[in-house]
Chains A and B, each alone.
Chain A
């Protein structure tokens, strides 16, 4: 096992405890940066999609994983982000202004609806956020001048400093744009979690009564978390709009909300890394299923007539994770890594006591 000798408090305050983990992130980022030179357009588009899902996943993770607020309404924040960004760009604002504004608008909206909702938890909050989703969906259809109603709108093409970032004209540029946004948000998120604000989120999640006794204003903390959560999801929504190009309300269906919840639960509640692993899974599984289908057709089995196969497989994966690995993909990865680090000293019940569920997952 690796033992890190610490010589100053900064070693604990820094984002990375040791050089090796910093190097790992650097390598990963480098690979992501050169990806457009390594893969073709098809896979680059998929990678872009995964990045956008990871961004939305991080948004939901703040609420569900780090503050213990379950939300079934996050598709609504994707929608608000997408429509706000397009509407602002159509007024002539450049993307560099409209994009952060879209996030801000969504965040404020989220914080606003969080205030009456903060007293709720578990299933009640889930239902309240579902109601918000339904209302937003109706509004999107009604506000035809901005949203194009049922027909939908075309996301304006992005250009920054004269350079085009259009998803179709310059996919590689658009990919880099998404990567930059994701990298920035991840950095801010990691900062948040090592600071007093992040700790107050965890405190509210794990014990409301002692959070209050320590001087934490639970209502304000939850509203802030929900606002940040919806703000980041709004940013993801804006990118998603540009990625899809032409979209209407159907892009932001309730299934997107549910898929986002899958991203954070399967990925690993309470870990930023979980949002990424979950996003990879949620975008890769349909591809894998498609490949599987094709191969099965080749050997004479035709599954194309089976509806809802994706959903069924996702559900099965989710059930298996909740029963066997409540800490998600990232938790599993940590265990595998520890097993190698202490090899051959790993014991069977080394993680036994850690198999506990976050309060988020218990419905009270």
Chain B
């Protein structure tokens, strides 16, 4: 059975059918990319999966469980982590604290224990820290540990957000345009990390990306969407050769 199954998913904002009957499934250990012109509905699909938006129609199943009606704050605990297209970090906290916030679903203490800072709290903190340090090492964020997010360059913030998602210890990670705004070198790093997430961490990756060279390099399967509908699905080469996909890209003037 697939890790993530999306069936006939749709959401309408008034008259705008942002997502209009999309179906796809992501297998365990797969890197699955969603491509499409601006406004196609890619980020909206992410928001539907993370339950920030309420779907109008359709069904979402994750790991054998129906999450169509789950609450947004229960999604992380099931093992789905995500990044946002327009970086949503906690700007007035340090990199370390942002990553530690990613450990929220693993907390076992309540606020009274926290206020008294019982030995249990310290033990748990050490454990969270150990996990977070692994993420820091993986993404080479050592130099930024104690830096405030507000003062960091764009590229680093982008990486920190991936780190925060990894710190939750997910099964599935949703990356919304992980390479947008990054330099060629930074994009290459992102490609390596995605490879490692799949190979070393056993993660499943669902990503939205405009950079076709990155998509070609890392993804097993690609789905092209436009106007909230699926245009094509298959290997990166198949999808890019699909006449509808070429038309959609040429139609909006974006280079494929």
By a beta-carbon cutoff of 8 Å, the part of chain A in contact with chain B is 9-10, 12-13, 188, 191-192, 194-200, 202-203, 205-207, 209-218, 224, 228, 270, 353-354, 356, 358
How would residues 105 to 142 of chain B score, 1 for a CB under 8 Å from any chain A CB and 0 otherwise? 10101110011110001101110111000000000000
Closest 10 CB pairs of A and B: A215-B76, A195-B114, A206-B90, A191-B117, A215-B105, A210-B88, A196-B107, A197-B114, A212-B72, A197-B111
Q: Are A192 and B52 in contact (CB under 8 A)?
A: no
Q: In whole Å, how far is A218's beta carbon from the nearest beta carbon of chain B?
A: 7
Contacting residue for A356 out of B89, B93, B150, CB 8 A = B150
Of the A-B pairs whose beta carbons lie under 8 Å apart in the complex, a sample of 24, sorted by A's number, is A10-B122, A188-B116, A191-B114, A192-B115, A195-B117, A196-B107, A196-B109, A196-B128, A199-B100, A202-B97, A207-B88, A207-B90, A210-B84, A210-B89, A211-B101, A213-B72, A213-B76, A214-B104, A214-B164, A215-B73, A216-B104, A218-B73, A224-B111, A228-B111
Q: Are A195 and B121 in contact (CB under 8 A)?
A: yes
By a beta-carbon cutoff of 8 Å, the part of chain B in contact with chain A is 50, 52, 72-77, 81-82, 84, 88-93, 96-97, 100-105, 107, 109-111, 114-117, 121-122, 124-126, 128-130, 148, 150-151, 164, 168
Chain B residues with CB under 8 Å of A207's CB are: 88-91
Chain A residues with CB under 8 Å of B90's CB are: 202-203, 205-207, 210
Bound complex: CA of A218 vs CA of B164, how far in Å? 18
Bound complex: CA of A216 vs CA of B102, how far in Å? 10
Q: Are A214 and B168 in contact (CB under 8 A)?
A: yes
- B128 to A, closest residue via Cβ: A196
Q: Are B122 and A215 in contact (CB under 8 A)?
A: no
Bound complex: CA of A206 vs CA of B74, how far in Å? 20
Known A209-B52, A354-B150; 16 more pairs at CB < 8 Å: A194-B125, A195-B109, A195-B121, A196-B128, A199-B101, A202-B93, A205-B90, A206-B89, A206-B90, A206-B91, A206-B93, A213-B76, A213-B88, A214-B101, A214-B164, A356-B150
Chain B residues with CB under 8 Å of A202's CB are: 90, 92-93, 97, 101
Contacting residue for A214 out of B105, B121, B126, B151, CB 8 A = B105
The number of residue pairs between A and B whose CB atoms lie closer than 8 Å in the complex comes to 122
Bound complex: CA of A217 vs CA of B148, how far in Å? 24
Q: Are B126 and A9 in contact (CB under 8 A)?
A: yes
Chain B residues with CB under 8 Å of A198's CB are: 114
Q: Are B150 and A199 in contact (CB under 8 A)?
A: no
- A203 to B, closest residue via Cβ: B101
Most buried by B among A213, A217, A218: A213
Chain B residues with CB under 8 Å of A354's CB are: 148, 150-151
Q: In whole Å, how far is B50's beta carbon from the nearest beta carbon of chain A?
A: 5
- A219 to B, closest residue via Cβ: B73
Bound complex: CA of A200 vs CA of B93, how far in Å? 11
Q: In whole Å, how far is A238's beta carbon from the nearest beta carbon of chain B?
A: 19
Q: In whole Å, how far is A349's beta carbon from the nearest beta carbon of chain B?
A: 12
Q: In whole Å, how far is A201's beta carbon from the nearest beta carbon of chain B?
A: 10
Q: In whole Å, how far is B149's beta carbon from the nearest beta carbon of chain A?
A: 9
Assuming A206-B92, A353-B151, is B111 touching A215 (CB within 8 A)?
no
- A17 to B, closest residue via Cβ: B146
Chain A residues with CB under 8 Å of B124's CB are: 196
Q: In whole Å, how far is A265's beta carbon from the nearest beta carbon of chain B?
A: 15
Q: In whole Å, how far is A6's beta carbon from the nearest beta carbon of chain B?
A: 10
Chain B residues with CB under 8 Å of A216's CB are: 73, 104
Q: Are B116 and A191 in contact (CB under 8 A)?
A: yes
Q: Are B125 and A13 in contact (CB under 8 A)?
A: yes
Q: Are B129 and A13 in contact (CB under 8 A)?
A: yes
Q: Are B125 and A200 in contact (CB under 8 A)?
A: no
Chain A residues with CB under 8 Å of B130's CB are: 9
Bound complex: CA of A364 vs CA of B164, how far in Å? 27
Bound complex: CA of A65 vs CA of B93, how far in Å? 13
Q: Are A188 and B82 in contact (CB under 8 A)?
A: no
Chain B residues with CB under 8 Å of A353's CB are: 150-151
Chain A residues with CB under 8 Å of B82's CB are: 213
Bound complex: CA of A197 vs CA of B118, how far in Å? 13
- A358 to B, closest residue via Cβ: B92
Q: Are A188 and B115 in contact (CB under 8 A)?
A: yes
Assuming A198-B114, A203-B101, is B73 touching A217 (CB within 8 A)?
yes
Chain B residues with CB under 8 Å of A194's CB are: 117, 125
Chain A residues with CB under 8 Å of B151's CB are: 353-354
Chain A residues with CB under 8 Å of B115's CB are: 188, 191-192, 195, 197
Q: In whole Å, how far is B212's beta carbon from the nearest beta carbon of chain A?
A: 27
Contacting residue for B84 out of A13, A192, A209, CB 8 A = A209
